[in-house]
Structure 1
Amino acid sequence: MGKLRVEYNLAAFTEIFDFAKEIIKPPHRFASDISEVGRPISIGGSREFIDSGYHREAVYWIVVTYSRCRDFALRRVPR
């Protein structure tokens, strides 16, 4: 996966992260990761990987945290 594609995925991940952090409440097991405090690690860390030329390594963290956010959002938002 190329750097541009990873940057695109980070942008999509950032949107769902920001949505999920507003609705997630403890005692959810990932509440501390998906929070304003966790944002610099999740979003900033992925951005740092990409900017340092390690965009492939960023994919793992983007996918893992995106999946957590998506799973939580799908369980909490009425359909």
Structure 2
Amino acid sequence: MSRLADLETGAWHERVMRWLFGTSTTTHVLLVAGLLNPTVRLRYSAVRNLLHDMGRAEVHETLLEHLGAASFTPSQVIHHIKALSSAMIDAAPVIPASFPFSSDLTDAGHAAALRGSADLVTAGQHREAVFWIAVTFARCRTVFIADGNQHAHAAEFDALLADLGLSGPGALKARSQQVLDYMPELDQLTDELIAAG
């Protein structure tokens, strides 16, 4: 959760990335406690299945609310998938050689982010697709800025963040605190999962 406490420095897209991974760590805690693979791209889908099997679907809704994806519609997600596709196409030729997540933006990553997200929409798990769409979009922004193109797909990225309820640093800080305040409940549920074994 240290990522949620370090949101004051760095470029906006970097702070958003730290918030995304810090917020979504809640899914990993539960998946590990439930003896399941703490997957990266499909973490919200995997924890959905775990919590529904436990009869605790309301917890999954809370996790989606923390992400800002609880009220997303399929058409919203499809719109953002299309915007991401365009950004990935433009980012691919200018990925720096030293970029640590370049594979996420190559052809294979393109397929995982776009087809994988579209498959989740088809499966009725459009909200669960939002995490990886946002992460991949933030990585595209990292590439564009490294290439000196500050404005490439910035409007589309900001539109996605607006749908997530992230209008600026103040909103990011408030949402981070919301997750931190949820930790006692998460700890209790984690203990339940471990006890259930």
User: Which position in structure 1 is the counterpart of 2:122?
Assistant: 51
Q: Normalising to structure 2: TM-score of the pair?
A: 0.38
Which contiguous aligned blocks of 4+ residues in structure 1 show a shift greater than 6 angstroms? none
User: Which position in structure 1 is the counterpart of 2:139?
Assistant: 68
**Identical residues among aligned pairs (%):** 29
User: Which position in structure 1 is the counterpart of 2:193?
Assistant: none
Which 5+ residue runs of structure 2 have no aligned equivalent? 1-71, 151-197
Q: CA RMSD in A?
A: 1.4
* Structure 1 residue 46 displacement after superposition: 0.8
User: Which position in structure 2 is the counterpart of 1:34?
Assistant: 105
Aligned length: 79
Q: Which has the higher contact order (CA 8 A, sep 6+)?
A: 1
Structure ID, larger Rg: 2
CA separation of 1:17/1:45 partners in 2, compared to 1, >3 Å: closer, same or farther? same
CA separation of 1:62/1:78 partners in 2, compared to 1, >3 Å: closer, same or farther? closer
Distance 1:42 1:66 in 2: 10
Which 5+ residue runs of structure 1 have no aligned equivalent? none
Q: Normalising to structure 1: TM-score of the pair?
A: 0.89
